[in-house]
Amino acid sequence: MTTSEQIERELTSIISRYHDKVHSELQDRWNNWNIDLEKKEIKEVVCGILSRQVSIVINYSSSPNLWNGDMAPIILRCMADNYINLAWILKGPEERSRKFILHGLGQAKLAMEHRKKQLKNDGHDPEGDSFIRTTEMWINAQRHTFLTEVNLGSWSELNTRKMAEEAGCIDFYNLVYQPFSTASHNMWNHISRYNLIPSDNPLHMFLMKPIVVQHDPELEYLELGAKYLSKMFKLFDETFNHFSKDQSSFKLLSSELNRIFNELNKDDSSTTNTGRN
């Protein structure tokens, strides 16, 4: 077996153990949080957001072709957004969880109306459309569509920066959400570095031409995803006084990755250093 096959096998095993750990961390929080059905919306929203972060990280960590500077920020920014939402909700869980739900229902209603209109324009009967029927049932199960208002603005009625400020995580916004937004929004400062390359022909005045790069996976990006999930668990634990005696999934992943690198460095008779310790 070649070294790279060995690493791949080892990595697959580490990630599988990491997934198990992440699942058990989510279960631990859900199972040990007392249910007060009068405030079920708080639990649904908070754990829904946690579950979303877990789901993202599991899929992301299974996709090495996303662990690069071009693709990873799209996922990581989404995780940062999810974190800021939770941090802001936790500053007023009752009112803000409700707001979060109602905005979501309004958005679903709006999307449904757009689809109805499109179907009518195309000469079809919207009543027979399965998407519309299931969406309507989903909304009605929570709130009658005729009572559901549509809010065209942000769900919190604040921009994300303001939310982060109020939630005490403005540094996370400035250092993570903001820089990764350039990839999610396909801005020039991302595109010019990842999707264009200057022509090497001096006759072309440094004309930037398109390039599609097949990036090698960078484990730092894998770790960042795990770190943002861990950050969210920590926020939950601090807010709800949850104590977990198990080692965190993030620590597990980090120490396992370090182990691989240390072994690699040991095996490598040359002076190459991975820079990790």
Partner 1 sequence: MKSPKRVLENHTRLGKKLLPPLMNLNLKEISYVQYVIPELIWIAILNKKYGLKKGTELGLELVRLTSTLSLLNNNFSYISSYELLNNSVRKRILTELNHRGVLGPIQDGLFDFVSIYPECPLSFLVDSSTNSKDKLQGLKEILLDLYDKKGATATFMMGNVLYFMGVMGKLRLVKGSPMDNLPELQNYPETLDSRIIASGVRATIFAMIGKNFISASGNWNKYFWKRGIELEPCQI
Interface residue with partner 1, options 23, 91, 124, 209 (CB under 8 A): 209
For partner 1, the closer of residues 153 and 202 by Cβ is 202
- Residue indicated by tokens 């992301």: 60
Contact yes or no for 164/157 (Cβ under 8 A): no
Stretch that binds partner 1, among 16-24, 176-184, 209-217, 228-236 (CB under 8 A): 209-217
Structure tokens at 81: 């957004």
d(CA 151, CA 157): 9
Q: How many CB atoms lie within 10 A of CB 40?
A: 11
199 touches partner 1 (CB under 8 A) = yes
For partner 1, the closer of residues 137 and 175 by Cβ is 175
Alpha-helical runs (H) found in 122-218: 130-140, 160-167, 170-172, 178-184, 188-194
Interface residue with partner 1, options 130, 206, 269, 272 (CB under 8 A): 206
Interface residue with partner 1, options 141, 205, 214, 267 (CB under 8 A): 205
204 touches partner 1 (CB under 8 A) = yes
152 touches partner 1 (CB under 8 A) = no
For partner 1, the closer of residues 1 and 212 by Cβ is 212
- Dihedral of alpha carbons 226, 166, 106, 35, sign: positive
Output the smallest distance, CB 196 to partner 1, in A: 10
> Can you list the positions of beta strands (E) in the chain?
196-198, 208-210
Question: Residue 77 corresponds to which amino acid?
Answer: R
**Cα–Cα separations (whole angstroms), residue 198 to 165, 185, 203:** 39, 22, 12
146 touches partner 1 (CB under 8 A) = no
207 touches partner 1 (CB under 8 A) = yes
Residues that bind partner 1 (CB under 8 A): 199, 201-207, 209-211
